Structure 1
Amino acid sequence: MIRIERAMMRNKIDEPALKGIHVYNERIEVLGENAAGPTESLESVQGHDHASEHPGLEAQNRNVPPPEANPFMQQFIEIMQRMAPQPQPQPQSHDAVIGKNYEVVRRQGAKVFAGTTDPAEAEEWLRNTERVLDRIECTSEQKLRYAVSLFEKDALDWWETIPGSKNRLITLTWNDFLKEFTDKYTPPVYKNRKKVEFLELKQNELSVAGYELQFVRLSKYAPEEVSTDELRRDKFERGLRLEIREKIAIKPPSSGALLEAALRAEETSIERSSTEAKRKKLTGNLNPTPGQSGAVSFRGSGLQRGWYRDRGMGQTSRSPSVFSG
């Protein structure tokens, strides 16, 4: 009766609608508002879903019209069905989730790794793999499993030599993996060489954009040299060509502002060089070269000299060799 009362409170069923309901051994009698009403079972209310156990009664009931459905009883059954706990889907096992996402990692752009002797190639593979794993938001344990699943050939042979790597429940952590991988494929001697390359980096014949690209790529090998924006700005400016530095009159407040100023200075320098080249080309066409002096004198200089010479002698006639027939 407590459950019925709760159902009444939740679904706002009028009390008179349930006062005639009595439960006897899993049978529900609906008496309505008077005690002389008909008695119905769950089977009768739900439409006699189950076949009768007595063949004689079943044949006799075929000629009896079905009883009218009691609306109060139908409402009560619906309430009981809603109150019954619903089956919850079983969560997938941890291994099933891991296995399902192996293909997801590859579809997101992760590449297999067979090993390499080029540290730059190994760095690029690791950077791309970390980017993919961060995108799918997996745990550190899953990162380790997914990364190792991309190994093949020489890389897989190497990984299986790492203590603890063959255990089904891997005892290594993601940080352990990063250390083992970098020690193997990007050894300290390679990192030191890249650090020296950064310390000696100059723009030279590079464009400002190309110089900035190399600066960013190599700066990770010398983090102490660019630990603050001021250090980064000073190091970048010292590597610029002199003609670019001279055009940056005021020291920019940040490394980003310095890059913008350097790009503008480079553009101005390119425009000036182009203008000077055009002017020299034009001037070269107007000024005769030593090999072209005869042609120029034929065009006017010789005639003018003859004309002035004749004037000086009191003669005003031009040379007959040019104008006579």
Structure 2
Amino acid sequence: MKSTRNKVEDNVAAPTNAELAQNMVQLIQTIGSVLVQNKHQQRLKNRNDVAKLVAKRNPPCYLGQEDPLILEDWIRTFDKLFDAINCPADQRINTAAYYLRQEADNWWATTAPTLRQQPDFSWETFKEAMRKRFYPEHVRAEKYEEFLHLKQIGMTVQEYHSKFLNLARFAPTLVPDEIEKTNKFIRGLNFETQKALCVSECQTLNDAYNKAGKHYRVQQLQKKTLKR
């Protein structure tokens, strides 16, 4: 019996080197296919996770208004949101595009095929494309001029500060650093407030805003007292 088993084993030919190589190739291909499939499934899961995380924050939709303040607020919202959830760079465009509506959605549907063909197309270039479409050069120039001549006249310090911050985004060359920004803010204040701030040097915009706010409050209290 033992002799018969040995004869059978002797008759089984050992695999050749070619067969071993072929088996190895097939094994590698199988492993590769599994890895690709797992990677694809993981990518889909990640996309779904990102979509859910963004949806939970209930971000605004952009309708395509040619108002740079509305667009910049929308962009800034998604910039902060993507950073907060660590959104992968390759998922930012599709995620944000889902929140385009009306004219903005029509624009994206028309231009997306062309923009996606650009080798360096990214979230940053997507934002620039939106800016070029929804607030062209003449609108930017209007905002620049508005900031250039901005004064507090008719506004509270808080209202002036808010408008100053909104418009400063459209004139970075006028306020390239914190000192220039602070000086520009002070020059736009009412004359009495400017005189009050000359007593103490303001190194930052926030410092100037706080001091101007305190002076404005004192002025309002003084006016109320004189009316009594």
Give the TM-score normalised by the residue count of structure 1: 0.51
Sort the Cα spacing of 1:274 and 1:182 in 2 relative to 1 into closer, same or farther, 3 A: same
Higher relative contact order (CA 8 A, sep 6+): 2
Sort the Cα spacing of 1:103 and 1:111 in 2 relative to 1 into closer, same or farther, 3 A: farther
Task: Report if aligned partners of 2:93, 2:123 keep a CA contact under 8 Å in 1.
Answer: yes
Q: Secondary structure in 2 aligned to 1:248?
A: helix
Gaps of 5+ in 2: 1-37
Give the structure with the larger helix fraction: 2
Sort the Cα spacing of 1:211 and 1:95 in 2 relative to 1 into closer, same or farther, 3 A: same
Q: Which has the larger radius of gyration?
A: 1
Alpha-carbon distance between aligned partners in 2 of 1:193 and 1:271, rounded to the nearest angstrom: 36
Task: Report if aligned partners of 1:248, 1:262 keep a CA contact under 8 Å in 2.
Answer: yes
Aligned AA for 1:93? Q
Aligned AA for 2:223? S
Task: Report if aligned partners of 2:68, 2:135 keep a CA contact under 8 Å in 1.
Answer: yes
In the alignment, which residue of structure 2 is the partner of 1:263? 213
Sort the Cα spacing of 1:103 and 1:236 in 2 relative to 1 into closer, same or farther, 3 A: same
Cα drift, residue 268 of structure 1: 2.4
Cα drift, residue 191 of structure 1: 1.4
Cα drift, residue 121 of structure 1: 2.7
Sort the Cα spacing of 1:97 and 1:171 in 2 relative to 1 into closer, same or farther, 3 A: farther
Deviations 1:133-188 (A, max 9, x none): 222111221101211222344333211322635979x9732222112111111222
Cα drift, residue 253 of structure 1: 3.5
- 1:225 alignment partner, one of 170, 174, 196: 174
Aligned AA for 2:213? L
In the alignment, which residue of structure 2 is the partner of 1:295? none
Is 1:115 the counterpart of 2:85 in the alignment? no
Sort the Cα spacing of 1:267 and 1:131 in 2 relative to 1 into closer, same or farther, 3 A: same
Gaps of 5+ in 1: 1-89, 279-325
Alpha-carbon distance between aligned partners in 1 of 2:222 and 2:137, rounded to the nearest angstrom: 46
Moved more, 240-249 or 210-219: 240-249
Is 1:195 the counterpart of 2:144 in the alignment? yes
Alpha-carbon distance between aligned partners in 2 of 1:196 and 1:232, rounded to the nearest angstrom: 16
Sort the Cα spacing of 1:96 and 1:226 in 2 relative to 1 into closer, same or farther, 3 A: same
Moved more, 183-192 or 157-166: 157-166
Sort the Cα spacing of 1:208 and 1:116 in 2 relative to 1 into closer, same or farther, 3 A: closer
In the alignment, which residue of structure 1 is the partner of 2:6? none
Aligned AA for 1:178? K
Is 1:132 the counterpart of 2:101 in the alignment? no
Alpha-carbon distance between aligned partners in 1 of 2:112 and 2:202, rounded to the nearest angstrom: 51
Sort the Cα spacing of 1:96 and 1:171 in 2 relative to 1 into closer, same or farther, 3 A: farther
Q: Secondary structure in 2 aligned to 1:160?
A: helix
Root mean square deviation of aligned Cα: 2.6
Task: Report if aligned partners of 1:164, 1:172 keep a CA contact under 8 Å in 2.
Answer: no
In the alignment, which residue of structure 1 is the partner of 2:187? 238
Alpha-carbon distance between aligned partners in 1 of 2:216 and 2:85, rounded to the nearest angstrom: 42
Task: Report if aligned partners of 2:66, 2:135 keep a CA contact under 8 Å in 1.
Answer: no
Identity rate, percent: 22
Aligned AA for 1:201? L
In the alignment, which residue of structure 2 is the partner of 1:273? 223
Task: Report if aligned partners of 1:203, 1:240 keep a CA contact under 8 Å in 2.
Answer: yes
Moved more, 184-193 or 244-253: 244-253
Aligned AA for 1:172? F
Alpha-carbon distance between aligned partners in 2 of 1:265 and 1:114, rounded to the nearest angstrom: 40
